[in-house]
């Protein structure tokens, strides 16, 4: 934390509070403080708080291996914005919003340039006048993936984290977990507006015990950039932080949620007892990796039997193919083989994957990689407009937390990182515009309701006597989601899941009402809410499209329509 200090009432007050320290959150924080527009906000410094559950680098953005999709001026011959948009629509099963897709695709080159200006060193082509090296991933018709070897996310995050930590106008609150948003009715418009949030600060009490102090944050503008919800499933490529916090909090506050049935399962997560959530990048298949059965099942390549694009098919197709072959042959995993490319090629293109697998006794330059599908990306989320605005005034969402319409029924590889940067620009522009007016209002002496937010009340709760309830419910939820709401779904499985989730919600709500909050309890509360939203969305879609495949509705409807859930109090 930099220069933060609470008001006499114990409230921290900021112009903008950003919840989440991934690419969307950090990009927005930096963009809010860049450019000539910032000068119009008045003589006072624009104050920003970045809240993150763990350390700044703990989110999913740093785990991204593949890269960032962008059609560049010096890109592959024949590539175009139109081709990138078409690839996105095909992968998204024609559910991708046209305006959002165009905005992201056309904004991608500027996003790459901005990242380079922040010091991000992308991999270059060799030569006297090097250009960015571009690779190709599943679902893309051209080489257009900008990358930093096979550790793009980590390289990007390292640069942005350094910039955020160095900026005097940004206060960083680590080990601080969102509890709930604070929403009031605007006296002028009558419309609900977000005026801040409650967050559990675990720094003093220690994250190991899960305790801490609930603090109040007043904010003229709040951005939810908390990532996805992969931890709702038993097997996931996501970090432990991916518990759907922003999605659940926005739903409780009254925001609509869209397309939550579309959970992308990454087809190739490393299968090894000592490896937790380690991803084998799409780029391995993009550079010629082949999927084969284990030797015990014949060792044959199988993707050509499932799709004419073979290993370069979109992720949902590949994930279902692997799931089918594993169940058909009764095997625990399949194998991804890049060894035929040679050791020099493998070490140059995939140094991180090579090193990690080698540490586990797998030399990917000489032997195939054992892989299984795992929950990877939440394509749905909090509904936003093209500036990241939600249904509640002054509340924004970006990154995996948001449903901008870009990803449709299935995210095209490497579209997510560029979406973060493009929408960070849109959100920051919207906040700057609105903040300028708010500053003029305060200069005129008008009252600011945010200075007197209600403090967190825990007078009616006690310390939990048994944490085993949380641990048991967490495990039960993730297993039932994996078994009943996985890659292939049926009406009966969804009904069973809905029934079990309702019972879990009742138990968790009772626990939440009677005991002091801990990070584990908050995450479990959010996960069970997200699980309910996923199941409700899946039950309402009577077709198979993209990532949602139902045995009871195997057809695809002629018209692609989004799934929109509306809170009862909205």
Q: Which residues are catalytic?
A: 315
Question: How far is 349 from 367, CA to CA, in rounded Å?
Answer: 16
User: Quick one: DSSP state of residue 496?
Assistant: H
- ∠ CA 221-115-121 to the nearest 5 degrees? 145
Q: Rounded to 5 degrees, what angle do the CA atoms 293, 296, 297 make?
A: 45
Q: What are the Cα distances from residue 547, in Å, to 263, 264, 273, 318, 554?
A: 6, 6, 27, 11, 12
Length of the chain: 570
Cβ atoms of 537 and 494 within 8 Å: the answer is no
Instruction: Work out whether strand 334-337 and strand 257-258 pair parallel, antiparallel, or are unpaired.
Output: unpaired
Contact 373, 323 (CB under 8 A): yes
**Torsion sign (Cα): 33, 37, 39, 43:** negative
Distances from the Cα of 278 to the Cαs of 63, 65, 267, 323, in angstroms? 9, 10, 12, 18
Buried-exposed string 540-561: b where 16+ CB fall within 10 A, e elsewhere? ebebbbbbbbbeebeeeeeebe
Count how many Cα atoms sit within 13 Å of the Cα of residue 391 in the half-sphere of its side chain: 21
Do the beta carbons of residue 19 and residue 247 sit within 8 Å?
Answer: no
275 neighbors 360 (Cβ within 8 angstroms):
yes
Residues pairing with 424 in the sheet: none
CA-to-CA distance for 373 and 11, rounded, in angstroms?
44
């Amino acid at each position: 934390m930099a220069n933060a200090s609470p008001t006499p009432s114990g409230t921290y007050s900021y112009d903008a509070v950003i919840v989440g320290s991934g690419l969307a959150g950090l990009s927005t924080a930096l963009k809010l403080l860049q450019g000539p527009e910032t000068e119009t906000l008045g003589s006072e410094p624009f104050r920003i708080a970045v809240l993150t559950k763990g350390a700044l680098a703990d989110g999913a953005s740093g785990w991204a291996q593949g890269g960032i999709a962008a059609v560049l001026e010096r890109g592959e011959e024949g590539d175009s914005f139109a081709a990138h948009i078409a690839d996105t629509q095909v992968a998204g099963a024609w559910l991708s919003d046209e305006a959002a897709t165009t905005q992201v695709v056309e904004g991608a080159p500027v996003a790459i340039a901005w990242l380079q200006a922040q010091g991000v060193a992308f991999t270059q082509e060799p030569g006297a006048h090097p250009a960015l090296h571009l690779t190709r991933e599943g679902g893309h018709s051209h080489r257009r993936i900008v990358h930093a070897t096979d550790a793009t996310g980590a390289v990007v995050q390292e640069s942005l984290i350094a910039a955020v930590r160095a900026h005097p106008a940004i206060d960083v609150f680590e080990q601080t977990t969102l509890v709930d948003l604070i929403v009031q009715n605007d006296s002028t418009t009558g419309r609900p507006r977000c005026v801040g949030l409650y967050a559990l600060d675990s720094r003093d009490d220690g994250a190991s015990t899960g305790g801490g102090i609930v603090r109040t944050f007043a904010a003229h503008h709040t951005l939810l950039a908390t990532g996805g919800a992969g931890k709702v499933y038993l097997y996931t490529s996501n970090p432990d932080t991916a518990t759907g916090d922003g999605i659940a909090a926005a739903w409780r506050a009254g925001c609509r949620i869209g397309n939550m049935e579309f959970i992308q399962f990454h087809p190739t997560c490393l299968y090894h007892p000592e490896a937790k959530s380690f991803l084998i990048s799409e780029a391995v298949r993009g550079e010629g990796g082949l999927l084969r059965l284990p030797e015990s099942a014949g060792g044959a390549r199988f993707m050509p039997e499932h799709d004419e694009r073979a290993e370069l098919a979109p992720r949902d197709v590949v994930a279902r193919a692997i799931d089918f072959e594993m169940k058909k042959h009764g095997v625990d995993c399949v194998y991804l083989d890049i060894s035929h490319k040679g050791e020099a090629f493998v070490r140059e293109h995939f140094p991180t994957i090579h090193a990690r697998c080698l540490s586990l006794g797998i030399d990917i330059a000489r032997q195939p990689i054992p892989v299984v599908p795992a929950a990877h990306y939440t394509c749905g989320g909090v509904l936003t407009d093209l500036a990241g605005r939600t249904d509640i005034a002054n509340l924004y969402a970006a990154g995996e937390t948001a449903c901008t319409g870009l990803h449709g029924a299935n995210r095209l590889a490497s579209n997510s990182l560029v979406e973060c940067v493009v929408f960070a620009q849109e959100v920051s522009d919207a906040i700057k515009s609105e903040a300028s007016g708010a500053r003029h209002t305060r200069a005129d002496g008008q009252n600011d309701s945010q200075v007197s937010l209600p403090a967190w009340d825990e007078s009616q709760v006690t310390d939990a006597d048994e944490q085993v309830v949380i641990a048991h419910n967490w495990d039960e939820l993730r297993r039932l989601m994996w078994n009943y709401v996985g890659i292939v779904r049926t009406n009966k499985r969804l009904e069973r899941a809905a029934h079990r989730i309702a019972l879990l919600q009742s138990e968790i709500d009772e626990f939440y009402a009677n005991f002091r909050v801990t990070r584990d309890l908050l995450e479990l509360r959010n996960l069970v809410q997200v699980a309910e939203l996923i199941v409700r969305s899946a039950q309402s879609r009577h077709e198979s499209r993209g990532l949602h495949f139902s045995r009871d509705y195997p057809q695809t409807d002629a018209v692609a329509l989004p799934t929109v859930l509306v809170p009862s109090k909205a």
